[in-house]
Structure 1
Amino acid sequence: MKLSFLSEFFNRFISNRGMRRHFRRLAMFDSFHGSGASKDIPASISHKLSLAATSTIDEVIQTLGSHEHGLTETQAFAVRELVGLNEIQQEKPPPWWMHLWRCYKTPFDILLTVLAIISYITEDMKATVVIGSMVFLSVLIRFWQERKSNKAADALKAMVSNTATVIRRDPSESILEEAQVHFGIQSHPEMSERTEIPINQLVPGDIIALSAGDMIPADCRILSAKDLFVSQAAMTGESLPVEKFASPKSAQTNNPLEFENLAFMGTNVVSGTATAIAISTGDSTYFGVLAKDLTTSNQEPTQFQMGVNKVAWLLIRFMMVMTPLVFFINGFTKGDWAEAFLFAMSVAVGLTPEMLPMIVTSTLAKGAVVLSKQKVIVKRLDAIQNFGAMDVLCTDKTGTLTQDKIFLANHTDAWGKDSDDVLEFAYLNSFYQTGLKNLLDVAVLEYKHVYKELNPTVNFHKIDEIPFDFQRRRMSVIVSNHEGKNILICKGAVEEILSICTTVQQGGHKSKLTPEVLASVKEVTADLNEDGLRVVAVATKSFDVCKETFSVADESGLMLIGYVAFLDPPKESTAPALKALADHGVTVKVLTGDNELVTTKVCKEVGLDASEIILGSQIEIMDNEALSAIVESHHIFAKLTPAHKDRIVRSLKAAGHVVGFMGDGINDAPALRSADVGISVDTAVDIAKEAADIILLEKSLMVLEEGVIEGRKTFGNMLKYIKMTASSNFGNVFSVLIASAFIPFLPMLPMQLLVQNLLYDISQIAIPFDNVDPESVKLPQRWNPGDIGRFMVFFGPVSSIFDITIYCVMWFVFSANSAEHQSLFQSGWFVEGLMTQTLVVHMIRTRKIPFIQSRPGNALLAMTIAIMAAGIFLPMGPLASYFKMVPLPLTYFPILGAILIGYIVLTQLMKNFYSKRFGWQ
């Protein structure tokens, strides 16, 4: 009865009075919620962050309406309704109407709209309808395809979305707290639990648990911290991690980034653990406000984007030069300046690559969908082109070359004899550590019988922890046993452990670690390494004096207990995958933090040349010039720090390589960001997945090799359209100039030119689904806009030869040589021009003989047939008069067939000549 009453009391109180009070507190905290902060300038953000940093922990919690044990789900939902999702506004897709406007506001569609308006003013309703339809279809196709690809990309991203660990209170705790005030019932603070939620569900007031590898999901005030080091490079450019504390250790500062008790969205935890309270989310974070000041025009374009833009502007500049020539030639020769202007505008439309954005987007989207079926998730569409262009792949060793199923093979004392003591100490270390548990810890904890024998929850009590970091390469836990003695158990890399040991356990006794003993000990580890085992040393230290807090300084004077050795055998698929990558022009370089002996063993087993390995200590003393030479000639690098990996990637990029980097750890994040294409896996730490452009659902080089091939297919299909558009447009201008100079009437009406261009554009929609020749994906595909101009000059005039031929046929054979018979001339050129334009993609899509040695995709072939049929139907069918055309005589079609055969033969001969001299990309 009492519980029912409390439940009803809770529902009424929290829903009304409690929530209103919570929101009033949020509003009091100087725009801490997201609704108003997004409009503030960074100065006001600095003010509110400073206020949070200088307030006491209790004040911050109270002001945010939170609790030391976190928010309830009900409270979090209510706050989220008020402040919105924890997302940066620029990352959200635009609303449909804004997207539609962006698809329309291209120079090409605006030009078409101007033409439609002019046609309407001159009462040419037919031209108005045709031009309007062209604008409508062009924009609609682009809008539909981009919308579809964006949704697909969002769905793929959702598969690898990051999460945050928050502390949620049980609703009954809130009931009891209120009941305590009114009825004197005590609350139960243990009624809370840690839960994983998507980062975008985080709200101000949430209590967050942080550990090594986590992304900071919001602007936070640190509540408690243990050896917490945060990388703020994304915000401040600092190369070294910054230590954070619950209470500031240094003097007061006016720069919020210098507050030692604040952590910011966009940074990441390098080592240590902490709890923090979210004070700002989404657009009201420091990062969010800065991001709002950045527009896409300020973002550095990728190599791919620059290449597409160069080609587009090449064609636009060409149009801006040739269009006035067409206008003046027709104006002077025909005398009708208005008609000449419309014709020139129509030619301008025909020259503009208005379908280029749609073709590029749809090709990339199709590639992303295909890759998703091959367990490759593309976060950024442009990365597909870099994937195909990649000629150097840098990868870690563990889990990529090896099976990523590490198991504990040996547990020995310092002399190589089996030792249960080593296993027990290693188990306690792995069991009690709260940081990022790696595969080695998982392998140790799989020894369930050790848990039963030790019963750590009863016989031991954890006192403290010294988390892992990449400088020390070790971590320690401190436990007290049933005798009350504190024991520090340290586990880590052999050399780093030996550097802090002064004694060694031998046969139940303690011996000094003399140079002679040290040499013997290192021989044992070397033998284990040569067997392909990864060795982790274990050492201990006892403390008679009880202490509650420990630091790195306590990691000294330890006693070496022995080693735990792990086996991670190579995958059976690794050697074939490496060979396949090499056959496709991709050089694999191994970048690992593991020691050189294990690395050598594994690399030899998978067929990599491990005769000479470069160590991180050698890289440390190299200047950039020396490093550049080393990374070109060597392929195996061991004992690397995150900074070493980053330097190697940057050096390879500076040498002109397109570099891919594959990694899944915290130490891989800098190199992932620096690489042309960052590749991670869905099981990677948050910071690695966030830094990557491509996520693999299976950590395998074989999957990666399939992705590389698909990237090259995607690039190849884009290049087909660009080459075809450039050469076809160039040839059309020649044809128009010649016809304008010698024919007393317009060679084609503006409306007819626009219809031809519309049909031609529709035929290109199927290009993303075309087949690609195997030899086209054999080697990395580089973007080289300079080749486009040369290609245009070589192949453009070929179509002009046959355009001039049809001019002569219509003039001399069919007597279409006067204004009275201009419709026949225009109809004849309309059909021939559309046929050659449609066929050109089949000629350029392959260096082989089209249709015979290289079959096009079914979609492209069907679209070609449909458009060619439509082109013949227009002058021959009932719509001919609408477009001011006339039926063509039947004798025209054998001549047309001969012209098309001649066009195919001559283009094929030109292809052979061009490819022998310049190559065929």
Structure 2
Amino acid sequence: MNNKPNLTLLKEFFASFLRSRHYARHFRRLALFESLADSSVSRELPPTLAHTLVKAALQDPDALLTSLGTQREGLHAEAIEPLRERFGLNEVEHEQPLPWWMHLWHCYRNPFNLLLSLLALISWLTEDMKAAAVILSMVIISTLLRFWQEAQSNKAADALKAMVSNTATVIREQRQELPIQYLLPGDIIVLSAGDMIPADCRVLSAKDLFISQAAMTGESLPVEKFAQLRDSTSSINPLDLDTLLFMGTNVVSGAATAVVLSTGNSTYFGALALRVSATDREPTSFQAGVNTISWLLIRFMLVMAPLVLLINGFSKGDWMQALLFALSIAVGLTPEMLPMIVTSTLAKGAVFLSRKKVIVKRLDAIQNFGAMDVLCTDKTGTLTQDRIFLARHVDAWGEASDDVLQMAYLNSYYQTGLKNLLDVAVLEHVEVNRELQVATAFAKVDEVPFDFTRRRMSVVVSRQDLDQNLLICKGAVEEILAVCTRVRHGDTDEPLTAALLQGIREVTASFNEEGLRVVAVAARPTARSQDNYGVGDEQQLTLIGYVAFLDPPKESTAPALKALAAHGVAVKVLTGDNERVTAKICREVGLEPQGLLLGSDIEGMGDQQLAAAVETCNVFARLTPAHKERIVRLLKGNGHVVGFMGDGINDAPALRTADIGISVDSAVDIAKQAADIILLEKSLMVLEEGVLEGRRTFANMLKYIKMTASSNFGNVFSVLIASAFIPFLPMLPMHLLVQNLLYDVSQIAIPFDNVDPEQLQAPQRWQPADIGRFMLFFGPISSIFDIGTFLLMWYVFKANSAEHQTLFQSGWFVVGLLTQTLVVHLIRTPRVPFLQSRAAAPLMIMTGVIMAVGIFLPMGPFAHYFKLQALPPLYFVFLMLILLAYMGLTQAMKGFYRRRYGWQ
């Protein structure tokens, strides 16, 4: 790294500091998945691991269990501790914390510290020991501050992350939920739709098991897995073997049991993670904004520092001193505290949100929270209560029917996939269990799990007193009707005619208009000898009737939507549910539908047509996961910062595509893994808190950048003018460095500052052009008073020769530091500082202390160490006038700037 030019170092630093240990430690896995899906990333495995996986795939299951020291009932209790000592936690290396000395090195090795270290070395070689000591102090303080802040932030992040747990269902003599990091080779795990695969595993039993391996292979379609290889000679590539499951992939549909083969770094993912050490997600809007701002400052530095070098070199003749001075200018123009300010500001925001039951998984998502102007959300459990009630069970004509409830109960009772809120509502009718004597009278034969293409699922049961099996299918009305040929009417079954079909749709539509969610139930008898069923068996069914569910809106939804709208966030509802139910619920919560698109409409629209439609429509119904992802992607393409809130398997693609993915702690594993924010309480009111905190966080970060850019630019501009006309350096390199250090220390309290209410009203984004204009507009204001100080020192105090340069430099040092520190209060708010808008106490105290230190240095006993000298009493009279005039002019220019350009 040291062999690269400083420009490259600066570019790398600004592009990468947000991907430091603080961020990457917890979220490297997701970033690595996305890199592995890129075909340019090599997926070759170490031969030993590949051989082990292939051998396990080919081996007889019972022999494999014996070799692993386990059995189908799981690991024995006495075997667990020895295995844990041998294999450790189920974590890959990228997720483990760095040792403290490595973290300290990472905090030091940014280009600014390297530049300062070089400057200290040059000062030491030229025997300027005092300057070397000051510069080294600057490096040490900067490094230790960042080290301490990141250590505290990591500690807080660990505590927050522990509040959101991904677990696996493990059989260890009995079923139990276990955090995935405690899994061991030989564990028997039970998988269902929505589960993340927590380790590399071999399938022991499977029923319609489809796995999404896109994270590993880049293939968009799920692949089916089996308990036995279908073709043992087809491939020696572990990814192509259909009995193996890999850490980080997820179950799309079906159910299975599997044995854990390897954990942590010994997994396929772990082996690749060790080799792919520099993989990152596509930069977020936050990272892209910081990079753009940073390059703006770099361009100014690349222009200003050489100018200062040339002017002072030619005018003063001392090229070494001119070089040191130019390097000091370069340091002064770079915001070396930016990583620490960003880290502490985001960490403070995360801790604040945790008190509101919002857990931040990726810290830069906080800023995206504030920038969000479109929130896409599912309906169930978000706009509505997270509890669904079974309101009616009726036949095809809308008459009450106990048969329908019994069939629905058997279906929900015996299905082993992901039980949703509808199943929970059905199973609350325990009286059906007693009437049917489910546990003794029925036995499960097979099931056909739910998927989002069919939108239905089936179970097959047998009854002791019958010589036939019964296939019971439950699902969305249209999808059930598509496989029905007959309708149950009382004790008879009638053919499903076109006229009858029209009547059925009118009945279900009337329920939908009442806000009821309708699920159809159908059945047919099958041969007792048949024990294996698939999707092909879902045909020629008899429609039994419907179960209708009431999903009442939350009382908090309407005020939450109103608050979000007041803060500039448009809410769009994306749901797989029926359009009539969705529209009714939206109206009840005050979200008037403005155009409604169905999934079938979206299928026929091109990207350009749909991109226009998503701007005007706010309700989208009957959507598939691909539809949701496409809508979010096109909204982003239209220039919006998009949040997506969801908790199901069908929400995972959209969660990952959104600028900020929001899920809940009760969500399925894949949704929690894809999300940036986890809500411990599923409420839109909590989201409003997150939006405001995101804007507060962004506003405080923007303060630092604006203050640093404008004040440092003003100082450098003053240096250029002074260098051209004054026969000595207007300030020594050490003075610039001390001034810069003191100013940066005063900024440590910015994350705790107050933010004016009007700055929280609208979404906020990075606007590089605005930063550049702000810097050019306000920077030269300080130069006016710097020039006035030069004239004051030259003509009033006669500091107009090399013999009196120390007095001159002392006078400008104090004015420069005090104006630079006061500008914090002037620029932090568009209001009148101290009167209409007062900074938080920590910032007031820090700036006061720094101003006092700035006056003490030339006036106190250490002045000669810093090559300063005491100033005459008359100087402080002029100092007060200069500061008052500076504040007055800056406030006046703020008003002009705000009227013309606005104030972010």
For the Cα contact (< 8 Å) 2:599–2:623, is it kept in 1?
Answer: yes
Q: Which moved more, 1:347-356 or 1:245-254?
A: 245-254
- What's the counterpart of residue 784 of structure 1? 767
Per-residue Cα deviation, 1:19-69 (whole angstroms, up to 9, x for no partner): xxxxxxxxxxxxxxxxxxx99945554433222222222332233232222
For 2:898 and 2:52, how far apart are their aligned partners in 1?
A: 64
Q: Pairwise CA RMSD of aligned residues?
A: 1.8
**Structure 2 matches for 1:50-65, cutoff 5 A?**
50-65=54-69
Q: CA deviation at 1:86?
A: 1.5
When structure 1 is superposed on structure 2, of 61-70 and 465-474 the one drifting more is 61-70
**Letter in structure 2 aligned against 1:368:** A
Other-structure match for 2:443: 461
One-letter amino acid matched to 1:386: N
Give 1:866's aligned residue. Answer: 849
Q: Is 1:350 aligned with 2:354?
A: no
SS of alignment partner, residue 837 of structure 1: helix
2:746–2:846 CA contact under 8 A, matched in 1: yes
Q: Residue 83 of structure 1 aligns with which residue? A: 87
Q: Using the alignment, how far apart are the partners of 1:340 and 1:553 within structure 2?
A: 83
Shift of 1:288: 2.3
Which residue number corresponds to residue 275 of structure 1? Answer: 257
1:430 and 1:444 in contact (8 A); partners too: yes
1:52–1:60 CA contact under 8 A, matched in 2: yes
The correspondence of residues 107-506 of structure 1 with structure 2, limited to 5 A, is 107-168=111-172, 192-250=173-231, 252-296=234-278, 299-484=281-466, 485-506=468-489
Give the Cα–Cα distance (whole angstroms) in 2 for the partners of residues 700 and 231 of structure 1. 30
Match of 2:505, SS state, is helix
User: 1:663 aligned to 2:646?
Assistant: yes
Question: Please, which moves more after superposition, 726-735 or 664-673?
Answer: 726-735
1:806 paired to 2:810: no
Amino acid at match of 1:751: M
TM-score normalised by the chain length of structure 1 = 0.91
- Equivalence for 1:509: 492
**What is the aligned partner in structure 2 of residue 21 from structure 1?**
none
683, 686, 703: which is aligned to 1:700?
683
Moved more, 758-767 or 236-245: 236-245
**CA distance in structure 1 between the aligned counterparts of 2:612 and 2:322, rounded to whole angstroms:** 61
Deviates more, 1:664-673 or 1:335-344: 335-344
| TM-aligned CA distance change 1:591 to 1:298, over 3 Å | closer
Q: 1:71 aligns with which of 70, 75, 79?
A: 75
Change over 3 Å in CA distance of 1:39–1:401 after alignment to 2? closer
Q: 1:637 to 1:611 in 2, by over 3 A?
A: same
* 608-617 vs 466-475, which moves further: 608-617
C-alpha distance 366-337 of structure 1, shift in aligned 2 (>3 A)? same
**Is residue 594–residue 618 contact of structure 2 (8 Å, CA) maintained in 1?**
no
Compute the displacement of 1:463 (Å): 1.5
Give a deviation string over 1:683-730, Cα, whole Å, max 9, x none: 100000000001111111111111011101111111111111111121
Aligned length: 861
Structure 2 gap ranges (5+): 1-41
Aligned match for 2:546, one of 563, 574, 577: 563
Displacement of 1:551 in angstroms is 1.6
Q: Provide the secondary structure at the position in 2 that maps to 1:881.
A: helix
Say which SS state the counterpart of residue 480 (structure 1) adopts.
strand
Indicate conservation of the 8 Å contact 1:42/1:286, yes or no.
no
Pick which of 827-836 and 876-885 moved more: 876-885
Partners in 2 of 1:270 and 1:297 — Cα distance? 26
Shift of 1:566: 0.7
For residues 216-253 of structure 1, the C-alpha deviation after alignment (integer angstroms, 9 at most, x for no partner) is 11121111101111112222222222211111235612
**Map 1:535-684 → 2, pairs under 5 A:** 535-610=518-593, 612-684=595-667
Within 5 Å, give how 1:710-729 maps onto structure 2.
Answer: 710-729=693-712
Q: Which amino acid aligns with 1:330?
A: N
SS in 1 for 2:671: helix
- 2:106 corresponds, among 99, 102, 105, to 102
* The 10-residue stretch of structure 1 (650-659 or 905-914) with the greater mean CA deviation from structure 2: 905-914
Q: Does the CA contact (< 8 Å) of 2:511 and 2:517 recur in 1?
A: yes
State the shift of 1:869 in Å: 1.2
Greater mean alpha carbon deviation, residues 294-303 or residues 616-625: 294-303
Instruction: State the one-letter code of the partner of 1:126.
Output: K
Aligned in 2, Cα 1:876/1:106: closer, same or farther, shift over 3 Å? Answer: same
Q: Which amino acid aligns with 1:916?
A: R
CA distance in 1, matches of 2:218, 2:45: 21
**Structure 1 residues 297 and 755, CA, compared in 2 at 3 Å: closer, same or farther?**
farther
Q: Percent identity?
A: 69
Describe the superposition over 1:802-854 as per-residue Cα deviations: whole angstroms up to 9, x where unpaired.
Answer: 11111111111111222232222111111110011111121211122222222
CA distance in 2, matches of 1:626, 1:81: 59
Using the alignment, how far apart are the partners of 2:756 and 2:526 within structure 1? 70
Number of the residue aligned with 2:21: none
Measure the CA separation in 2 of the matches of 1:39 and 1:121: 50
Choose 702-711 or 200-209, whichever is displaced more: 200-209
- Supply the distance in 1 between the matched residues of 2:297 and 2:475 (Cα, whole angstroms): 60
Give CA deviations for 1:320-353 in whole Å, capped at 9, x if unaligned. 3322332333233333333333323322222221
Q: Distance in 1 between matches of 2:761 and 2:595?
A: 29
Structure-2 separation of matches of 1:757 and 1:535: 67
Kept in 2: contact 1:42–1:290 (CA 8 A): no
Q: Which moved more, 1:568-577 or 1:635-644?
A: 568-577
Aligned position for 2:14: none
Amino acid at match of 2:633: R
Distance 1:334 1:853 in 2: 47
**Change in 2 beyond 3 A, CA 1:612/1:338:** closer
Contact (CA 8 Å) 1:70, 1:205: kept in 2 or not?
Answer: yes
- What CA deviation, in whole Å up to 9, does each residue of 1:631-669 have, x standing for no partner? 111110000000110111111111111111100000000
Q: Output the amino acid matched with 2:125.
A: I
Report the Cα distance in structure 1 between the residues aligned to 2:589 and 2:387, rounded to whole angstroms: 17
Aligned residues of 1:76 and 1:206 also touching (Cα < 8 A):
no
User: Which deviates the most, 475-484 or 393-402?
Assistant: 475-484
Write the distance in 1 (CA, Å) between the matches of 2:185 and 2:65: 10
In the TM superposition, residue 297 of structure 1 has moved relative to its aligned partner by 6.1
Match of 1:23 in 2: none
Distance, in Å, in 2 between the alignment partners of 1:773 and 1:409 is 48
Residues of 2 paired with 1:442 and 1:405: CA distance?
A: 9
Distance 1:326 1:612 in 2: 61
Q: Structure 1, unaligned stretches of length 5 or more? A: 1-37, 169-191
**Cα distance per residue 1:553-608 (max 9 Å; x no partner):** 22222222211111111111111111111111111110000011111110111122
Structure 2 residue aligned with 1:896: 879
The whole-number CA distance in structure 2 between the counterparts of 1:676 and 1:522 is 39
Report deviation, 1:261: 1.3
Distance (whole Å) between structure 2 residues aligned to residue 811 and residue 513 of structure 1: 102
Q: What SS does structure 1 have at the residue aligned with 2:863?
A: coil
Deviations 1:741-762 (A, max 9, x none): 2222222222222211111010
Number of the residue aligned with 1:177: none
Distance 2:230 2:631 in 1: 36
SS in 2 for 1:226: strand
Contact 2:91–2:264 (CA under 8 A) maintained in structure 1: yes
Q: Match for 1:910 among 890, 893, 897?
A: 893
Aligned equivalents of 1:292 and 1:580: distance in 2? 46
